[in-house]
Structure 1
Amino acid sequence: MRRTLPAFLLLAACALLLLGSALPTLEPEAAVRANQPPVADAGPDRVVPGMGPRTVVQLDGTASYDPDGQPLRYRWATQFPGAVISNPRSPRPLLVLDRRLQHGEEIEVGLQVSDGQDRDQDTVIIAVVPPTDCAHDHDDLAYLRLVYTGRDCSASRHGQEPHKVSCSGDPAMAPRVRITAFDKKHPADVWFDGRVSLGEAFALDAATAGKKELGKDTVVRISDLQGVLLQEVVFHTSGSQTVRGGDNFGALAVVGCVPCGSGGDFCASGAKPASLTMTYTGEDCSATSHSQDPGKVSCYGDPMMAPRVHILAWDNKKGTVWFDGDVDLGATFVIDSAYGGASKLGSETVVEILDLQGSLLQEVHFHTSCSQPLFPGDSFGGVTLVSFEPEGGNSRDYCDHGGKPKILEMVYRGSDCSATRHGQASGKVSCAGDPAKADPVWIVAHDGHGKTWFAGEVGLNTLFSIDAGTAGEEHLGKETTVEIYDQAGGTLLQTVSFHTSCSQPLQQGDRFGALSLVGIYQSS
């Protein structure tokens, strides 16, 4: 018997055949087309001015992109204490820092971008330069250290009168440029001429033109490597206008200086070094740059930018140790004669850089008795000279400039009370106890009436700030007490009290037990 399909099944089969013939054939490439991940760009590392206890930095992730053209979602984050990101999901949020940075500290900020399927990450490092007077009270400048930041003229931020400064053009973050700096009135006096990378430091040095001081006005021209002018900046460098660490003039950030009379050389005063503040840069020996006799300096090895190392510095003749501790990349440390129970460094200092397992990475030798010059920015392999404390301290009284101290920059040296030396009346200072070079310690500084200026962990030979702004005040009290404990809430090791209202002198290099004064910022 012949079987036939029901009519409704025949109709359904025909419909399916017709529908199938109408569907397009998918090519294999279109069927498996993969999403391309986005590319995160948090911007170049930067140096920005820190103009007091509160600093605001504009972050910029707009160079991030998605190869498929998909819209991006942004997410910024930082673990840095006291730093807050105003709108972390914006491509250009603000980073707000509500505490003062210590020397050598840097802020790492992470950026994550997503296209809805894939993600990418990038980081930016921001170094905030504390503001310190470089030129004031008609002190002319012999040497000015700057960083090329790549910024346009809107980044200018300084304390000079507006008509003393001009800026035009924009290097647009060019990664490498040629910079020429010269005296405006006498253009033949060239202070610097060379190639500089983004974020790199360079120096305007009067000695380059055979002069003792920079001129009244300095012109800085930034060109691309083909010679096309990108930006021109003019600012005052004679000392009748203040120059401060952290000042920005277009694409230039001030990070250090030496007043005239020293020719840029720390040793020109004739004093012997009691201590040298250095930065660990992680560079190999090719980074060595200084003015000492080549026969007085040697370097071999390469720390290869190791993020954390152990540094040992000692006198090459007597073997006296000046520093012994762990140091992070970019952090400062102090080669200090007091660490070895002396009043000044020896004729030659050896610096060994070791990994944390004790293997030698680099060894450098350089002269430290001032029969050879020492300039800020001198580099000896993986270490760079930042500042110099002369034997017996600095004769200039910070209090001579008027105003009351707001912030004292101190270094914890670990010494007992016998290291105390200062110009204050004996009845104004007291010291008891001995931290015995304990490392680290917990330090609390207060006015004795309930206002705390500092509380935190501090490593040996590390900087910290006694800051009135921490308690919401404009200046420190009449007397400041500093207590040093072995740990938070632990055993008291040393107590020091000294005068901080400027009715008593305060000089660079003053020692109060385990503490050394290295800088002051006043309420005025």
Structure 2
Amino acid sequence: MTHGDDGAGRPSGLSRRRLLAGIGGVGAVGMASGLGTGAYLSDRETFPNNGLGAGTVELLVNGELTNGTVAVDVSDIDRGDSGDETFEIGARTNPVRVWLATECVANNGLARELEVDVRVDGTSVTGRYRPLAAVRDDLFDGERIDDGCLDPEDAIRVAVYWRLPAGATDVGGQTADLTFRLYAEQCRHTTEADAEAANPFAARVCDENRCVPCADENEVKIGGLRLKYLGDETIDPLVVRAAGGGGGGNGRGNGNNPPTTIFDATVRPNEEFALDGADSRTNTPGWIGPNIYLDSGGGASRNERTETNIHTSCSVPLGPGDVYGDFEVVEVTTTDDEKVCGTGTGGDGGDTPDDEPEPGPECAVCDQGTGVSLATLDVRYLGADDATVSVVSTKGNTSGELFAGTVSQGDVFTLDGKDVDRPGRGADRLGPEVEIGVGGETVAIHVSCSQPLAVGDAYGDFEIVAGTTTDGEPLCGSEAN
């Protein structure tokens, strides 16, 4: 084994790690020693604890009757390392059909960076080197590897090659394993025409691949994010703030519960980094909050920041593969440690490599100097418990009840300028301020556009999800929206 580096003289952090690329050819008995006697089964009901089909079937690995666990043990793995393991599968007594399948592996950074090539009799069944996670997905439902039945006098040669590229992301502290399963069934028992139906791995689902959607009108709360920086220049430092999801303040810190800094470190091109809801300050333990703001300007004043906003309230879809500016979402988990599904939308902001950004819809910016007046606002309740809410217009000699009722988590209600009482009446518009009363406390939102207001902004337990101007234009979101 050789040890490489990333060209910068830095260790990868992968030393003392153990990767098992095990080949679990389930043939007979003898789990501890790998040796045993042949199995003689009359049906296939024993699968998946036994990988032998009906009839007289004896499976061999490297000439031995065995359950076939062959481990590729990679210790002290470093970027630039590579290796391989070869073994032979044989049959005794009767010709057999043989299927090869993978078992689940953790969907982490190491599984995405480690590259694996599985070759059967010299031919790759993985499309040459591919990420370990992709190999798992491609082979999970089984691949037949015999060439028209394996005769007792023949053998199938399987080679597993692995490598960790020198330019791989540092995934220190992560482990992964790749375990293959073999299934053998006597050729005389099933005709060749029915061979496809004999594959017991077909339509399997890996529990580690199960996921929940982060989308509108569900109760998912995001507890963790892993992002990848796609830019060309090092950010020193990248500062990430999470909007406060409780108290009396909005996501920008204009109230009693300002955003919390949850990440402050140097980030290099193609580097992954994790954000943890445990570091945020919200009304729900472990929740990252309704928004995060990635400031690549080193924490400068607001006017000097280069800021990317990602909505994490699930008011818009969020999942792995989405791109926001220079950042790609790699992994999303809930506060219950469930994996979040990909959205298939690619995100709602920023450029993807080699692609031009999609033009966003025309919208109105609610800020000082824009001349915008708001006619309506749609507000989502984020609190965990049902609450009785009342909203009134305040300041500027205005009054009027805009909403009153009981809301549950995720409910959306509309504030309409037609319900505002003001001297001289004029245009039906909101402003200058509304007060939301809930649980004996009030949350104030400035709605005259003399201060910034955008879709995605959070005010305590409430989030702006839509709005219209008195000219009928939709309200813009905050950067990525």
Q: Same fold (TM over 0.5)?
A: no
Q: What is the TM-score normalised by the length of structure 1?
A: 0.29
Q: What is the TM-score normalised by the length of structure 2?
A: 0.31
- Judging by fraction of residues, say which structure has more strand: 1
